[in-house]
Structure 1
Amino acid sequence: MSLDIGLSQKLGLEENSIEGKDGITEEMLCRKMNMVNSIDTEEENDEEDDEKIELGPQCTLKAQLEKDKDDESLRKWKEQLLGTVDIESIGETVDPEVKVLSFAIKSPGRTDMILPIPNEGKPKGVWFSLKEGSRYSLKFTFEVRNNIVSGLRYSNTVWKTGIKVDNTKEMLGTFSPQVEPYTHEMGEEITPSGFFARGSYVARTKFVDDDGKCYLEINYAFDIRKDWQPI
């Protein structure tokens, strides 16, 4: 969720038309959320198509272990990837299941801000607020079930007043199913500061694998303010 990209040059004086003393109104927020659903959709789809990797047909974990079982190096690699997974308890499911359990925003000297994940993928109102010029990092936990998920990646696109101001992508990796959830923390970022940086934003976050399967998509709004909101 990197935003340190020279917002004042991108936004010009449009900030005066949307930022009030207490941020955006509910009506403005609704218009912005509708707008983000149509902005750059074709461009974003083209980017995802270019990145999609053809991996061939999926097979169950048991079938994967049977493949090349006489190849010592491949067998050891598969055992290392799977770790202590109980193959017998997984069954014959082909498709992996990835569930994002929680989001948290970490900032030095502050209690982690835990963000509830809505079932419908669209948090109501402003999902969270950040202080301008503050250091922060995003941490999330997720679980993997049934099968190996290959090339899981995170992407986050941010708009302000209809202008795309950030497009972050990060490869998380390949994960085997396990009982305990995985945890991933993004690198530390600094929120932009100044008059043009403050105000409301809309964003779209996705978790997608190498097959192009999307496990979570969240469309939301957030604010950058002069100070942190009380916890």
Structure 2
Amino acid sequence: MSNQQPIDDEDFGPSVSNGYKPGQKKTMDEYQTLDADDEALRRWKESLGVSSAAASGDDPHNVVVLQLILEVAGRPDVVLDLTQTAEELKKHSFTIKEGVEYRLKVLFKVQHSLVSGLKYRQVVKRMGVRVDKSEEMIGSYAAKPDIIEKKFAVEEAPSGMVARGHYEARSMFVDDDGTVHKEWNWSFDIKKDW
């Protein structure tokens, strides 16, 4: 069961994909029988994995977010284990060197049904003031047993004396239906060196 919550609170505000209206939600069985005589649609559904049996697991959630990884060239990856509880994740903090180029990567599984328009949203605050808000589209996926890896665009950490310090972040994975699949708070420090 997914945690159904509104996401347009004061931190996140409305989605940057304003104007987009998701279609009516369907079950995996409905997708499998939809337009069975349409060859092009059949191939498209196969490319999504809709034609195969839906992956199932012990976890009742449709999307199981496993890891968020910070990749920096020439350094070991910083791995945030998202299977931990919200309290454990809140205690997690790490350091980012100012001005360094980095990329976020997420590992997750989709099970039980199709997920449409999965997004990663993040708000970063410093001393209680929002300094960054971002949204990254991850995509739509059918249930399957494979772990899915999604790499985000390369970014550059802020630099300079003003940018150095402690930051609090709030992140979530949410889909077009407004279902919040994972939400947590965490922190990081931007320093002159590692």
The bucket for the TM-score relative to the shorter chain is: 0.7 to 0.9
Sequence identity of aligned pairs in percent?
Answer: 36
- For 1:175 and 1:75, locate their aligned partners in 2 and report how far apart those are by CA, in whole Å: 16
Partner of 1:42: 10
Give the distance between the partners of 2:180 and 2:20, measured in 1 at CA. 12
Distance 1:79 1:96 in 2: 23
- Measured in 2, the distance between the counterparts of 1:107 and 1:42 equals 31
Aligned residue runs from structure 1 range 67-216, under 5 A? 67-82=34-49, 86-87=52-53, 90=55, 97-117=62-82, 118-120=84-86, 123-216=89-182
Unaligned runs of 5+ in 1: 1-39
Distance 1:150-1:225 versus aligned 2 partners, 3 A rule: same
Question: What is the CA distance between 1:86 and its match in structure 2?
Answer: 3.4
Superposition TM-score, scaled by structure 2 size: 0.83
Residue-by-residue CA offset, 1:192-220 (whole Å, 9 max, x unaligned): 11111000111111111110101011112
User: For residues 55 and 164 of structure 2, what CA distance do their matches in structure 1 show?
Assistant: 48
Deviation at 1:171, TM superposition (A): 0.9
Please report how far the alpha carbon of residue 90 of structure 1 lies from its aligned counterpart in structure 2 after TM superposition: 4.9
1:121 is displaced (CA, Å) by: 5.8
Q: Is the partner of 1:123 in helix, strand or coil?
A: helix
> What residue ranges of structure 2 are gaps of 5+ in the alignment?
1-7
In the other structure, the counterpart of 1:220 is 186
- When normalised by structure 1's length, the TM-score is 0.70
Asked if the contact 2:61–2:181 (Cα under 8 Å) also holds between the matched residues in 1, the reply is no
**Match in the other structure for 2:5:** none
Residues 102, 156 of structure 1: alpha-carbon distance in 2 compared, 3 angstrom cutoff:
same
Which residue identity lines up with residue 44 of structure 1 in the other structure? F
- CA contact 2:55–2:110 (8 Å) conserved in 1: no
Judging by fraction of residues, say which structure has more helix. Answer: 1
Deviation, 1:48, is 7.6
Pairing 1:63–2:38 present? no
Counterpart contact for 1:96–1:149, Cα < 8 Å:
no
Cα distance 1:43–1:135, how it changes in 2: closer, same or farther (>3 A)?
closer
CA root-mean-square deviation? 2.6
Q: 2:122 & 2:152 partners in 1: Cα distance?
A: 12
The question of 1:53 aligning with 2:21 is answered: yes
Separation in structure 2 between the aligned mates of residue 219 and residue 122 of structure 1, nearest angstrom: 10
Q: State the aligned residue count.
A: 183
Post-superposition shift, 1:55? 2.2
Secondary structure of the 1:77 match is helix
SS of the residue corresponding to residue 44 of structure 1 reads coil
Asked if the contact 1:121–1:217 (Cα under 8 Å) also holds between the matched residues in 2, the reply is no
CA contact (8 A) 2:12 2:133 kept: no
Deviation of the 1:126 alpha carbon: 4.9
